[in-house]
Structure 1
Amino acid sequence: MPLARRTAASCCMVLGWLPCHGVSDNMPPPATGLFVDPEFPACVSSLVGRGNTPLSPLCDRITWLRPQEICARPHLFPQIRRDALGKQGILGDCWFICACAALHKSPALLHQVFPAEQCTWEDQGYTGRFICRFWRFGHWVEVSIDDLLPCLGHKLCFSHCQDQDAFWLPLLEKAYAKLHGCYEALWAGQVADALVDLTGGLVERWSFEYAEENFKEELVSRMLDLKERCAMSCSVLHSKEGSGDLGQFHAFTITDIQHGLTKDGQSLLLFRVHNPWGRSCWDGSWGKSGDNWKLMDQTESARFLSQIQDGEFWVEKEEFFKEFNEVIVSFPVIENDHIESIWTGSLLSHTQQIYGSWIKGQNAGGSRNNPSFPDNPKFWLRVKEQSEVYLTLMQRPRIEMGTPKNIHLNRNVQREISNSTFPNAVGLHIWKVEKRRFNLQKIISTPPVTGTSSHTYDRQLHLQCELSPGYHLLIPSTFLRDTEGDFLLRVLSSGPITLSEITSNQPVDRTDEDVLSGVWETILELKGQWKKSNSAGGSRNFPSYHLNPIFPFCVPTNSQLVKVTLHQHNQENPCHAIGFHVYLVPADGCHSSLSQEPCASCIPHSHSLEVSKICNLAPGQYTIVPSTYLPEQECKFSIIISIKTERKPIKSEETLGQILKEVSVISLMK
């Protein structure tokens, strides 16, 4: 893992300007009347949590200043893109700074993460408030901050740009620190995780420590093709003798790859690498004063040396593979948040995702080493045409820091819980199934179409495969049995797909495809809420069941197949186990008794955002009772009731015209 762990002394050496005293007396007075973030105050609690890093001893010397108090002409972005390269400061977050290179590659992605048209210090409407966005566990979340930034003396002590008057990076770093609870929480991490948070996309890690030469050549060819469109980072996991200041567990940014020629016409391939420490750390043969530059004529060597900035150096291909252990590459994200495959160039324009959980004693079956593997959550993936498909499995810590809207805990308690919660070792396997009714034990005893070669502790893993049309069985698992956790299963495909959960009482037992492919018409949409001590009665196992919301509905005379879908609006927190029962209202019109047997049920309760069942109901009056399995669990929910209508297909001779581009109200008004 590319973790940056250094002593306080080495942090000071990185900056080279660590002051001996606190704030100087001739500093400008602080700005007044500007936004101050009460959720992330300018104090020690926002700097450190558990205090187990070298940052803690420096806290009493850190002051908080706004950009206009740090420099005369602050601005968000530099005029020259290369000046946006980040320098690390005294915080061990090289992994985050390297990931920010993804935003240099795509203006659209930069404006997704750092929304445009925010008032800055040069604007009349400047308030000192900024908004950043991060992709967290399946959706983009907004983080609001003030622009008070940690300083030592009169300078930023954490990240900053080559252009030190540009403040987009330190502001983004502050928002990311708030998301995690404090700056200290960023002390160590993985480039891949930060890239996912900044792009909402896919990331691959290429380890070449023991790779064959032909594999390395393939990676080089791929990197040359992707260098202008993808963020690429390289990491040192094991220090090697003679590697200068390359630190163990340190991440770097690959800023360019170029061909060069020696005096005798020999071709060379050089990697330009940036060290987030912001100073040269390479003593190799192609270092700034290395001997190998003499192999080139003066014009050629001057061309290469003129392109490096502070902290950058050139490494020849053979040296690169010798000194670095891995490369991390993010997939290109183009307009409309579509992700492009780095292997085929296909647009992965079809995306489906679904949340799930492993619950001890219920569905935490463990790996295929365990006889309980079939108990794991199971999902249908229907591929409608031959497609390039990426399947991702993202696990979430039981409690994440930096989510005050959803976790109402004392800040120190949040940090304690989060820091003691580590990811599980997880895996994912997929089988092709010829029909929807199948023998589970027989299927999983056969080799999967694809799957993880071993369970991994990565926060997000992904599989890439080419899938033929039809149904596929997906089973995510933890390595150990009875290991609990929440996960997000996400599928990105070049062709159309559908993803759904297989409940233990599989709602559709028919093999007739017409049941699914018929025309369904929504006849009723209901919204409700389970509230403690009011309407959260739990399942029929509990005497409080009658407290649950009860909704009437009618099945018309021209239909018998009814599809009922219950959706809980609980994406931020672990899913409740939900289900429902349908009761027939007696012919005399009296309200149905909940003590009678239901005529249709969606049980056992499932830890899923959504459960659905197709019911065969005679025309008449019914009531539906949605519930959580346990009483006193609060959540909003919605119910959609649809009927299958027998409509003849419409034969049309219309031709497809030009695609119409939408015109928004705002642009129309402009």
Structure 2
Amino acid sequence: MPPKNKRVKKDSAGSPSDPVKFQGQDFQKLCQDYINKQIKFIDETFPPEKRSIGTGLLSQSDMAKVVWKRPSELVEDPCLIVDGESRFDFAQGELGNCWFLAAVAAITFQKEIMDRVVPGDQSFGKDYAGMFRFRFWRSGKWVDVVIDDKLPTVDGKLIFLNCKTCNEFWPALLEKEYAKVCGSYKAMQGGYIFNALRDFTGGAYKTYFLSEAPSDLWELMDMAAQTKALMGCGTPQGETSANTVLPNGIVEGHAYAVTGVTKVKTQRKEVKLVRVFNPWGEGEWNGDWSDKSPLWGKVSEEDRKKWLEDKNDGEFWMSMKDFCRNYSELDICCVSSTFLSVPPPAPRSRRVQR
């Protein structure tokens, strides 16, 4: 019981516990209404139609083949989440939104953030009404976004973000929710990692241009990892707008998540490493400290077992030196004020990442 003569302070509208209802849609009321009607929800504010995909994203022939299907029409036992959310759950589809997916990969490390963005009180089981909700930070407030679960497919397969576990649908539904907030799937074609990181956390971010990286940047990244800040990075754009894969395995004009930092000792020196994740779910750096690099043979067996995983899953290690050579910028997003006292880098134009 609260002390007498003292009011219990309630969270204001737009807080994590009391998010604003996006477009006035109340998830609980809508859900109960459709359960009572014994029909599945169709979202008239973001309908399963061409305009929700957007103009110019698909060819006319592909658009003509699009069929919007619920997960229950694609698999027998659809699940929102299978064995927790992981960066290895998904792979980028036909939408150029690697900046968004890199941010998704980053937040999978933070259960508190994931639980806020993907509320756990919903499933395809009890009280399923063909709708789901996710939460984002938009314009200074947390918003609760409702969608129906009809997803665009061609020949029975998801067009955009897909999950490696065929009956897991949180990645595809999260992408659809964000497309609704942006206005269409097309509106997600190209963007900046820091925008998605901010929308997932409500935190502050700082950008470091790696051609002018401060000498203590690895130490700042280590501090970021220890304080549960989120990190993403991007590569320079190539001569064309296409995501060209370089001989070293790095993709031009592409966004990645930074998923870890560590130090390892060889016989001669201590090496600062950065772990990076490609949201394609495959395709990796093949230089020094990559999965098959002979340099791993120079560290202790304990470090190899702890840090090295030889899998083509899109995640790899590289030295801090190679990281700064191959990537153009690093974004660090934190909820705390740990990095706010560090002077920001000089402003510079940025390229859209696809």
TM range (shorter): 0.7 to 0.9
Once the 2 structures are TM-superposed, how far is the Cα of residue 143 of structure 1 from its aligned partner?
A: 2.0
Match of 2:44 among 8, 26, 38: 38
Instruction: Identify the residue that residue 255 of structure 2 maps to in structure 1.
Output: 251
Once the 2 structures are TM-superposed, how far is the Cα of residue 305 of structure 1 from its aligned partner?
A: 3.1
Identity within the alignment, %: 30
Match of 2:169 among 163, 167, 170: 167
Higher RCO (C-alpha under 8 Å, 6+ residues apart): 2
Note the 1:103-502 alignment, pairs <5 A. Answer: 103-118=107-122, 120-123=123-126, 125-211=127-213, 215-216=214-215, 218-228=216-226, 229-239=228-238, 243-262=247-266, 264=267, 266-296=269-299, 300-301=303-304, 303-306=306-309, 310-332=313-335, 340-343=336-339
Q: Given residue 316 of structure 1, which amino acid in structure 2 is its aligned partner?
A: S
Once the 2 structures are TM-superposed, how far is the Cα of residue 189 of structure 1 from its aligned partner?
A: 0.6
Q: Given residue 141 of structure 1, which amino acid in structure 2 is its aligned partner?
A: V
* TM-aligned CA distance change 1:299 to 1:84, over 3 Å: closer
Instruction: Identify the residue that residue 94 of structure 1 maps to in structure 2.
Output: 98
* TM-aligned CA distance change 1:455 to 1:83, over 3 Å: closer
Deviations 1:58-81 (A, max 9, x none): 322332222222233322223244
Note the 1:560-639 alignment, pairs <5 A. Answer: none
Once the 2 structures are TM-superposed, how far is the Cα of residue 46 of structure 1 from its aligned partner?
A: 1.3
Q: Given residue 41 of structure 1, which amino acid in structure 2 is its aligned partner?
A: P
Q: Does structure 1 conserve the Cα–Cα contact (< 8 Å) formed by 2:86 and 2:105?
A: no
* Distance of 1:291 and 1:283 partners within structure 2: 11
* Distance of 1:172 and 1:327 partners within structure 2: 24
**Counterpart check, 1:67 vs 2:71:** yes
Whichever structure has more helix as a proportion of its residues is 2
* Distance of 2:346 and 2:318 partners within structure 1: 33
* TM-aligned CA distance change 1:265 to 1:454, over 3 Å: closer
Query: Which one has a bigger Cα radius of gyration?
Result: 1
Whichever structure has more strand as a proportion of its residues is 1
Q: Does structure 1 conserve the Cα–Cα contact (< 8 Å) formed by 2:103 and 2:232?
A: yes
* TM-aligned CA distance change 1:190 to 1:341, over 3 Å: same
Structure 2 portions without partners, runs of 5+: 1-37, 239-243
* TM-aligned CA distance change 1:318 to 1:452, over 3 Å: closer
Q: CA RMSD in A?
A: 3.1
> What TM-score do the two structures reach when normalised by structure 1?
0.42
Q: Does structure 2 conserve the Cα–Cα contact (< 8 Å) formed by 1:88 and 1:158?
A: yes
Secondary structure in structure 2 of the residue aligned to 1:209: helix
Deviations 1:135-178 (A, max 9, x none): 22122233210111122333322113454433222111101111
Deviations 1:600-636 (A, max 9, x none): xxxxxxxxxxxxxxxxxxxxxxxxxxxxxxxxxxxxx
Instruction: Identify the residue that residue 6 of structure 2 maps to in structure 1.
Output: none
Deviations 1:578-612 (A, max 9, x none): xxxxxxxxxxxxxxxxxxxxxxxxxxxxxxxxxxx
* TM-aligned CA distance change 1:248 to 1:84, over 3 Å: closer
Instruction: Identify the residue that residue 79 of structure 1 maps to in structure 2.
Output: 83
Once the 2 structures are TM-superposed, how far is the Cα of residue 233 of structure 1 from its aligned partner?
A: 0.7
* Distance of 1:329 and 1:161 partners within structure 2: 26
Q: Does structure 2 conserve the Cα–Cα contact (< 8 Å) formed by 1:55 and 1:90?
A: no
* Distance of 1:86 and 1:132 partners within structure 2: 17
Q: Given residue 201 of structure 1, which amino acid in structure 2 is its aligned partner?
A: G
* TM-aligned CA distance change 1:105 to 1:42, over 3 Å: same
Once the 2 structures are TM-superposed, how far is the Cα of residue 277 of structure 1 from its aligned partner?
A: 1.0
